[in-house]
Amino acid sequence: AQSVTQLDSQVPVFEEAPVELRCNYSSSVSVYLFWYVQYPNQGLQLLLKYLSGSTLVKGINGFEAEFNKSQTSFHLRKPSVHISDTAEYFCAGIGSNYKLTFGKGTLLTVNP
Amino acid sequence: DAGITQSPRHKVTETGTPVTLRCHQTENHRYMYWYRQDPGHGLRLIHYSYGVKDTDKGEVSDGYSVSRSKTEDFLLTLESATSSQTSVYFCAINGGPRNTEAFFGQGTRLTVV
């Protein structure tokens, strides 16, 4: 059973608009949650992580995510996107023995 | 950048041949992972290791085996390559509770013809 689910495979938005990329996790992962970004033809880069503490996590490039235990969600947000944010975004979680599992990814396309 | 190197970076091989991909790290991290990335499937875990000689299967382990005889190296072997194993393979490392960020290699593009 998939332990991390990204609800949207593609999200098109216009430049300077806000965006939310949705991620839900199951009980098979611990509450160590991550968002990674992959630009075209590149490897993966960590955007942000939630380990404990404040449920609002700030990451690089103006992104932030909110951990919601009651809704088992960890949605990624940015108030105003740029063309350069066009990339694929992956939500991930850690389970037992530090098994790191990814969602299927969300392709964010920012249009002018 | 984290010290993680995958080799080879590109490989073309014939159906039925064995192939070994190498992941080498210089970070002394305990946890290592092999993923494959295919369009529409994201990153799927093949195998992972939680210590020397300690490995476990991921969600797409059929046709793959791994070995980890020392901390720095994690080998992925395709026992008899098939066209369905054409993919981009990524290795990742993770330091565990005190360093939970996973670092990724640059990937290996494998084509099975």
Q: Cβ contact (<8 Å) for A90 and B104?
A: no
Domain boundaries along the sequence of chain B: 4-112
Integer Rg of chain B from CA: 13
In this prediction, residue A23 carries a pLDDT of 96
Q: What is the mean pLDDT of residues B3-21?
A: 96
In this prediction, residue B8 carries a pLDDT of 97
The residue of chain A nearest to residue B50, with distances taken between CA atoms, is A97
Nearest CA-CA distance, residue A39 and chain B, Å: 12
- The rounded percent of chain A whose pLDDT value lies above 90 is 72
Class of domain B4-112: mainly beta
Q: Which long-range contacts (CB under 8 A, 24 or more apart) does A26-31 make?
A: A26/A1, A26/A2, A26/A72, A27/A72, A28/A1, A28/A3, A28/A95, A29/A3, A29/A4, A29/A93, A29/A94, A29/A95, A29/A101, A30/A93, A30/A94, A30/A95, A30/A96, A31/A67, A31/A69
Domain boundaries along the sequence of chain A: 4-111
Q: What is the mean pLDDT of residues A30-55?
A: 89
In this prediction, residue B99 carries a pLDDT of 64
Contact of A102 with chain B, judged by CB distance below 8 Å, is answered with yes
Cα–Cα distance measured from residue B96 to residue B64, given in angstroms and rounded to the nearest whole number: 25
In this prediction, residue B100 carries a pLDDT of 74
Q: What is the mean pLDDT of residues B52-59?
A: 93
> Is residue A97 over pLDDT 80?
no
Q: What is the mean pLDDT of residues B31-58?
A: 94
Cα–Cα distance measured from residue A56 to residue A107, given in angstroms and rounded to the nearest whole number: 23
Tens digits of residue pLDDT in B73-92: 999 999 999 999 999 999 99
B74: Cβ–Cβ under 8 A, 6 or more apart, which residues? B22, B23, B25, B32, B34, B49, B66, B67, B68, B91
Cα–Cα distance measured from residue A53 to residue B77, given in angstroms and rounded to the nearest whole number: 40
> Is residue A1 over pLDDT 60?
no
Using alpha carbons, list the distances in angstroms from residue A49 to A25, A36, A101, A111.
14, 9, 14, 27
Q: What is the mean pLDDT of residues A8-24?
A: 97
Q: What is the mean pLDDT of residues A28-39?
A: 85
> Is residue A2 over pLDDT 60?
no
> Is residue B7 over pLDDT 70?
yes
In this prediction, residue B1 carries a pLDDT of 60
In this prediction, residue A41 carries a pLDDT of 83
CATH topology of domain A4-111: Immunoglobulin-like (2.60.40)
DSSP one-letter string for B61-85: -TTEEEEEEETTEEEEEESS--GGG
Q: Cβ contact (<8 Å) for B35 and A98?
A: no
In this prediction, residue A30 carries a pLDDT of 67
Q: Cβ contact (<8 Å) for A102 and B96?
A: no
Q: Pick from A101, A104, A106, A107 the residue to mutate for testing the B interface (most B CBs within 10 Å).
A: A101
Contact of A32 with chain B, judged by CB distance below 8 Å, is answered with yes
In this prediction, residue B98 carries a pLDDT of 65
